[in-house]
Chains A and B, each alone.
Chain A
Amino acid sequence: NAGVTQTPKFRILKIGQSMTLQCAQDMNHNYMYWYRQDPGMGLKLIYYSVGAGITDKGEVPNGYNVSRSTTEDFPLRLELAAPSQTSVYFCASSDSGSKETQYFGPGTRLLVL
């Protein structure tokens, strides 16, 4: 099993550009999450999904969109990138929500200039 994979590993965006961060998991997990982590800070939840076709906002959803058309994939879309979105983005999955282990991907480092 590859676990949770994320692409790209690193990206530089100009202000106002858009991009999609890809996340896939091969563990057949129902729950998937997107977090951002700023330097020296904890993880902040952006969006999560409890299954295909179901998504919900987390703590910091503004400026982002998600979709979950399959169990495996959970892409995060940034529209009109802003410098405040410079961060490291982690995708995670779990079998049954917060009472179970979350498995994290390696992260995508995003720099918006």
Chain B
Amino acid sequence: SQKIEQNSEALNIQEGKTATLTCNYTNYSPAYLQWYRQDPGRGPVFLLLIRENEKEKRKERLKVTFDTTLKQSLFHITASQPADSATYLCALDSGRRALTFGSGTRLQVQP
């Protein structure tokens, strides 16, 4: 069956360090993969999109990698700040003109 797995345990890091979040998937062949940020009580907000023929994408302090052989995407936040604390969701193009979302990983950045 199709699965998208994100670490359900919260990730706690110190301010200034690099946070790395993982998204693994099985039985998908996505053409696109997206990352969203969700704050408590709010809707998700788009961060980055990466295509299957792109190995890496950057936007300011954010970096996403996409390895279609390993079926994995890594999401990095460099020089993390307490304001980066949120839940981060990965989402795959599921081939039906819609996205399928993972359950998200909560990031807590300690000052």
Mark each residue of chain B from 71 to 111: 1 if its CB lies under 8 Å from any CB of chain A, else 0. 00000000000000000010101101111111110000000
In chain A, positions 62-113 with a C-beta closer than 8 Å to chain B are 90, 92, 97-107
Closest chain-B Cβ to A84's Cβ sits at a distance in Å of: 18
Identify which of B31, B32, B42, B103 contacts A106 (C-beta below 8 A). Answer: B42
Chain A interfacial residues counted at CB < 8 A: 28
Besides the known contacts A98-B32, A102-B36, A107-B43, 8 further A-B residue pairs in the complex with CB atoms under 8 A apart: A31-B97, A42-B102, A43-B101, A59-B100, A101-B34, A102-B44, A102-B46, A103-B46
A58 within 8 A of B: yes
Q: Which residues of A contact B91 (CB under 8 A)?
A: 102
User: In chain A between 20 and 38, which residues have their CB closer than 8 angstroms to a CB of chain B?
Assistant: 31, 33, 35
Query: Is B19 among interface residues, defined by CB-CB distance under 8 A?
Result: no
Interface size on B, residues (CB 8 A): 26
Q: Which of B8, B41, B44 contacts A43 (CB 8 A)?
A: B44
A-B contact count (CB 8 A): 62
29 A-B pairs in the complex with CB atoms less than 8 angstroms apart: A4-B43, A33-B98, A35-B101, A40-B103, A41-B103, A42-B89, A42-B102, A42-B103, A43-B89, A45-B99, A48-B97, A58-B98, A90-B43, A92-B43, A97-B97, A97-B98, A98-B32, A98-B94, A99-B32, A99-B49, A99-B93, A101-B34, A101-B49, A102-B44, A104-B44, A104-B45, A105-B43, A107-B41, A107-B42
Is B4 an interface residue, CB under 8 A from the partner? yes
CB distance from A9 to the nearest CB of B (A): 10
